[in-house]
A = this chain, B = another copy of it.
Amino acid sequence: MDPIARWHEYMRTDDPALLDALLADDVMFQSPAVHTPQVGKAVAFKYLRAAAQVLGEGGFRYLDEWRAEQSAVLEFECVVDGLQVNGVDIVHWNERGLITRFKVMIRPMKALHAVVPRMSAALGMTPAPAQPS
């Protein structure tokens, strides 16, 4: 099955087993917050579960989709802490249909500032200051 169709099925069901089956061992997660990627299936799984938890609270829905051969961009919107969040998932996969890169961008700035500490909390980390020096 098409990796994006499988991704949508995971988002619909919120079934961690579907996410696990969809990620390559060397998958790289790139957050909207920090430059440094999170590499490897265990850590990417953890970040994607936390993102789904934080963003999935308020009316999450995909708006639009663009395709290339082994990658796609999915635009979404949702509400976090009463703020409208608009973002994209940029998803790349390998010839076996397993996701190798998953990048998230979010706008506007207020929404990013709302999401970042919520993500840290969902990951069990001490929330970073919203504006590191």
Q: Which residues in A have some Cβ–Cβ distance to B below 8 Å?
A: 30-35, 64-68, 71-73, 75, 84, 86-88, 90, 103-113, 116, 130-132
By the criterion CB–CB under 8 Å, are B68 and A65 in contact? yes
- Known: A31-B107, A32-B108; 6 extra A-B contacts, CB below 8 A, are A31-B108, A34-B110, A66-B68, A67-B67, A88-B105, A105-B105
Closest 3 CB pairs of A and B: A66-B66, A105-B105, A73-B73
**Distance from A77 Cβ to chain B, minimum over Cβ atoms (Å):** 11
Task: Chain B residues near A131: list those with CB within 8 A.
Answer: 109, 113, 130-131
Task: Chain B residues near A67: list those with CB within 8 A.
Answer: 66-68
Task: Chain B residues near A35: list those with CB within 8 A.
Answer: 84, 86, 107-108, 110-111
CB-defined A-B contacts under 8 Å, sample of 5: A35-B84, A66-B73, A67-B67, A87-B105, A105-B105
By the criterion CB–CB under 8 Å, are A33 and B108 in contact? yes
Task: Chain B residues near A113: list those with CB within 8 A.
Answer: 131
Which residue of B64, B84, B112 is within 8 Å of A71 (Cβ)?
B64
